[in-house]
Structure 1
């Protein structure tokens, strides 16, 4: 495994990071707790020491399972990344920006973007309890909150750093303008954003900004929620309550399938899966610090970690990029 420094912080994170959205269950068709815990533990044992989660993932369940998975392990060798700013329990008292209605145990629950100081403090205390730790390595605002000044949010994070409850702070889903504003009040370490072979919009503005200002980029959804594994085109069926049934419709699926077919010989030649090849390509893109990869069980987790063993030459990277250009996405 390769370990990389996040921005100007002192955090050393695994290039492949465990993304814990799916093990929360909500929006992903559910998952067995023992499989999820084994996936986290297998990740750590194979060098993926960085775990990224959020309170919203499973309404606290994802954080709880990570807490169970790391219990008794050397905390100094594990990096916990979590978030704040999506409130679903009514504690915001109607404040903030309505985001969407989520399903919880068959009931519709309104979710708000809310990042006021007092709310952040409460969220962090709840996350610490669920994770079973006394500090968070990187705390990130989950989505921009238009109802709270960025200055207020950043000042709250600065207080938490001073208290030792978080080691570093980051943003997520922020534009270049919002990131620049945040940096006026706090030296944020990173911006976590969506990035994949099919979604390269950040290369236009955010990547150059990050390279210029030594800002870390954490890439999420590199597999486009499983689409780039190729399994979707091989008869794999999604559960009825899986949000990907709608998510995949945004893509020209025949073009994506044809693209993946061009990569298959390269993957086979390297003794790798398409998933591993896609992950490795993503880790090698300019400006990308770490890449999130989810896993529902230990087998998937180990495969994700082994993606870093793949060598891609400049000519092979050029071939992949040439084929990507044909997609015209």
Structure 2
């Protein structure tokens, strides 16, 4: 399976990774089965999906622990492991901390939970309001020089925060929201990443399932989507009409709408990798069908124009 280089780093990954927030993310998804989560990670590794994306806040901590158990069993060298830190609990509330001392402790804690002596890619998960971004990234650079991490990422940073964080050229990866319904990153973030050798990894690539092609106008929601304007009334109907316009392309290529959408992202400048999630092992196999989709330039432009 062909691999790509992540940013300016020496990490080489399968462009279809695994977003592991449903592996042990009990605070995000109710009634998760941990052995199923382990099987999701095992299946990913067996199929050559080597880019695993997790975070402290998934669990909290439990996702890292489960992945660490599987890597102990399968072999650490099989994975390019990404995790994130910034969240901490103060008097029962979650706050963000990007201070060098906290980031260093976060890396040490993640190493312990993951049962490894190095993390391939460590992200600052969210910016805080007080720490200078170059100072925070500088702390990660020192950890990189010590061999505890191999590459540096930031997540949910604005363009100004990203520029400040990357003042010394240390940032390898930016993770941020981006999908066909949420394209603000095209204005400044994606061009900056392309110009500075930073890989952009989008999250919510299927817009909470809206771009998966599985919903109809009669679908109702009882979770956070119920309060999202994108999933309500006439806006929901219009959005589904846009998704329906992708079905001929998917049918012609004998894949699902979701595969066409994911393949479109990989055609965008600076987007080198995707991290679709999976709650079941068979979903990992489904995600990999994206690599079989070859979009023409005309199809890329057609999809872009549908969602302008």
Range class of TM-score, shorter chain:
over 0.9
1:21 to 2:32 alignment: no
Give the whole-Å Cα distance in 2 for the aligned partners of 1:25 and 1:235: 29
- Could you tell me which of 121, 124, 133 is aligned with 2:104? 121
CA shift for structure 1 position 6: 1.6
- State the 1:76 CA deviation: 2.2
Contact 1:173/1:192 (CA < 8 Å) preserved in 2?
A: yes
Check if 1:7 corresponds to 2:4: no
Cα distance in 2 for partners of 1:74, 1:172 equals: 28
Question: Which of the residues 224, 233, 237 maps onto 1:243?
Answer: 224
TM-aligned CA deviation for residue 51 of structure 1 = 0.5
Q: Taking structure 1 as reference, are residues 234 and 74 closer, same or farther at Cα in structure 2, changes over 3 Å only?
A: farther
Q: What corresponds to 1:59 in structure 2?
A: 60
Gaps of at least 5 residues in structure 2 are none
Please show how residues 172-211 of structure 1 align to structure 2 within 5 Å: 172-185=155-168, 187-211=170-194
Deviation (angstroms), 1:47: 2.3
Q: How many pairs are equivalent? A: 305
| Residues 43 and 305, structure 1, Cα contact 8 Å, conserved in 2 | no
Query: Aligned pair in 2 of structure 1 residues 55, 308: CA closer, same or farther (>3 Å)?
Result: same
Question: What pairs up with 1:25-36 in 2 under 5 angstroms?
Answer: 25-36=26-37
The answer for the alignment partner of 2:114 in structure 1 is 131
Give a deviation string over 1:221-247, Cα, whole Å, max 9, x none: 101122211323276665x5x433334
CA distance in 1, matches of 2:145, 2:135: 16
SS in 1 for 2:121: strand
Pick 1 or 2: higher relative contact order, CA cutoff 8 A, min separation 6.
Answer: 1
Describe the SS at the equivalent of 1:83. Answer: strand
Q: Aligned partners of 1:151 and 1:213: how far apart in 2?
A: 16
- Kept after mapping to 1: 8 A contact 2:217/2:237: no
Q: Deviations over 1:27-59 (max 9, x none)?
A: 333421122111122122222110011000121
- Post-superposition offset of 1:209: 1.0
> Does residue 111 in structure 1 map to residue 112 in structure 2?
no
Secondary structure at the counterpart of residue 87 of structure 1: strand
Distance 1:143 1:228 in 2: 25
1:48 and 2:31 matched: no
Aligned match of 1:293: 276
Residue 293 of structure 1: how far off its partner (Å): 0.3
Q: Does 1:73 align with 2:77?
A: no
Q: State the TM-score, normalized to the length of structure 2.
A: 0.92
Report the aligned-residue RMSD.
2.0
Which of 225, 232, 239 pairs up with 2:208? 225
Verify the 8 A CA contact 2:156 2:177 in the aligned structure 1: yes
Q: Which has the higher strand share?
A: 1
Deviates further, 199-208 or 229-238 = 229-238
* TM-score, normalised via structure 1 length: 0.86
